[in-house]
Amino acid sequence: MASAIQRPLQRALTLIGVGLIGSSLSGCGTAWKQRIGLDQAPASDPLPEVSDGPRSAPLQPGKNIIVEAVDRVGPSVVRIDTVKRVVNPLGNLFGGRAPIQQQAGQGSGFITRSDGLIFTNAHVVEGADQVSVTLPDGRSFSGRVLGSDPLTDIAVVRVVADKLPVAPLGNSNNLKPGEWAIAIGNPLGLNNTVTAGIISAVDRTNAIGEGQRVPYIQTDAAVNPGNSGGPLINAAGQVIGINTAIKKAPGAGLSFAIPINLAKRIAQQIISTGQASHPFIGVRLQSLTPQLAKEINAAANSNLCTVPELNGVVVIEVVENSPAAEGGIRPCDLIREVNGTKVQDPSQVQLAVDRGRVGQAMPIIVERDGESLELMVKPEELPRQQ
């Protein structure tokens, strides 16, 4: 703070400064005034035009579609906590009883019926002795696993409640890359986390290993442990998939979701019978390429098998006494169509068979020695792993 003696001096200096500036301005002419913006500069050559596009009206602020979609589905997304009791095999080394240890797990799910039906992943509730379901509004319920299907990673949980918020289910059959993909869940224990991206690809049958029965939806939405079982939703606020797997890659991660139409079909079977049904015909397949065909045909003298040199699906083994064997399928047959669906690789054959029904004959069109044949194959139930 300036002293009382300094203040008059400051005021005098200020007045002197103003006077100096004023006198300088009055004596420097027009050029100086132009440099400091007090006078207009003479007109110069016009600047070149860099755009001749039409002027458009500015975008008007509106509602955010992601916010609207999350508002619609978010209240129905739940946290699932599990407890699994395991026996420590080292606990009785010194003559004592083997101690029981508890393993805690966590995932996500979403309510599909107001009376307490919940979809989640099978791996979220696998082997769980206790299941707890917590809603975003803080309510918590004890859950019961109605059934699960490890092949598709779908599980259905039930809680005793009514008038619960429900997630609208969409249609996953016509999804296109580039559409919005919004994930809601509880990654790393962070409840009600929302991430967004786009659908990167559809029908990824080789996303997390060979022989999959799921045509996964691939997205670039950030998904982490704890998101499993949570919904993937579209811009309309409808569930189009169940987030189930991630694949780490340099620079970014890729996430995969089970299409909701497949999840609904498996859930209906679980609710009706307690388990999912998977048709089985009993063939081993190989993707055929022109090069592979040349190699097969070169060995024709030894195996009496020739195939056309093109891309397709070739049968390399038929299980004895299987539905395929009884239906007339042979090794070296090219499978062209299954139950009305054209196929080009083994995964497409697998998915087409899986959409059939156990005990209901399905037409399979094969090419054999240049001739097209329609064979009727009646799938059996896939043997269950014990």
Q: Which residues are catalytic?
A: 123, 153, 228
68 Cβ neighbours under 8 A, 6+ residues apart: 237
The pairing of strands 283-288 and 154-159 is: unpaired
Nearest to 356 by CA among 299, 250, 279: 279
What is the separation, in whole angstroms, between the first and last Cα of the chain? 87
Which residues 6+ apart lie within 8 Å of 40 measured at CB? 34
CB 239 within 8 A of CB 170: yes
User: What pairs with residue 232 in β-bridges?
Assistant: 183, 241
The Cα 19–Cα 8 span in angstroms is: 16
- The tokens for 362 are 């399905």
- C-alpha 167/C-alpha 76 separation (Å) is 6
Residue 86 falls in which region: left (phi positive, over 0), alpha (psi -120 to 50) or beta:
beta
CA 258 → CA 162, 171, 226, distances in Å? Answer: 27, 12, 16
| C-alpha dihedral (320, 322, 328, 331), degrees to nearest 10 | -50
Within 8 A by CB and 6+ apart from 1, the residues are none
User: Which positions ≥6 away from 105 have C-beta within 8 Å?
Assistant: 81, 82, 83, 84, 124, 128
Nearest to 306 by CA among 296, 320, 316: 296
